[in-house]
Amino acid sequence: MTPVLELEGLSVTLHSRRKDTMLVDGVSLSVAAGECLGILGESGSGKSMSMKAAMGLLDKNFRVSGSARFQGEELLGRSAEELRRLRGGKVGIVLQNPMTCFDPLYRVGAQIAETFAAHYPWDAAEIRRRSLDMLNMMRIRDPEEVLEKYPHQLSGGMLQRIMIGIATAVTPELLIADEPTTAIDAITQFEILDELLRIKREHKVAMVLISHDLNAVSRVADRIVVLNQGRVVDQGNFHHILHHAADPYTRLLVEKRSAVMRQYRAVLQGKGDTSCLN
């Protein structure tokens, strides 16, 4: 079966007058329909850069080489307009900071409507009905009121769920979620991850979840790829990463997770220091 997305030897170099800096060095990975691939790594590891390069989201200062194929067709070298249509249709992208993805001057309903109008020949009444359906599906309370609000009147968690709803409402073949739980409280993080699980299960969409959080990735991903300094250093399912990681950076991530879980269990049993949880 042809992967929905496949990167092969993908490299990204930042070109400047003084020198060229390689940011991504020969990354290869793939994700199939109905599967979630977790890309794990610290800031600057190249995880987001790899996806941006594949989707044509880098400017002319970056040189991209290798191969990035979507449903077997090469993406590198396509025109900006072709990639823009792809990103809004067959590929949905959820970014990490929802507050910067909505225009503060326009109501949320108008921004949802603009996206739908760009992809479907619906009239205003149909767009409003579909918008309400989407908000209900994303478990947003009082959806009619939400459509009339401005972005700053909604919480980060609500905006993130709306972003996921917009991205999936156009029935993409691939959903890329770039740090979707960053800067969101723990309860909302759980809800966002739950929505991603539901979408993967119900729509059989291929999904790429980018994160620095091993716990978040382990909850949703079927396979995990670990990036460090622009290179793939480990990959496998969660059990492999947890027990058989070869790379020192991956083992450090696992140990940090284990330490947090040990502290959590100790607190539940009344044996631990709770000062770090206050």
Does position 80 have pLDDT exceeding 60, yes or no?
yes
| Per-position b or e across 209-229, b if 16+ CB within 10 A of its CB | bbbbbbebbbbbbebbbbbbe
Whole-model pTM: value is: 0.84
Residue 253 burial (CB count, 10 A) = 23
**What is d(CA 256, CA 235) in angstroms, rounded to the nearest whole number?**
18
Q: Residue 260: its pLDDT value, please?
A: 65
What is the chain's alpha carbon radius of gyration, rounded to the nearest angstrom? 20
Span 203-218, average pLDDT: 89
Q: Residue 96: its pLDDT value, please?
A: 74
**What is d(CA 213, CA 224) in angstroms, rounded to the nearest whole number?**
12
pLDDT tens-place string over residues 104-117: 999 999 999 998 88
Which one has a higher pLDDT value, 256 or 193?
A: 193
Does position 201 have pLDDT exceeding 70, yes or no?
yes
Q: What confidence category does residue 261 fall into, taking pLDDT thresholds of 50, 70 and 90?
A: low
User: Which structural domains are found in the chain, ordered by start?
Assistant: 5-90+174-277 (3.40.50.300), 101-171 (no CATH)
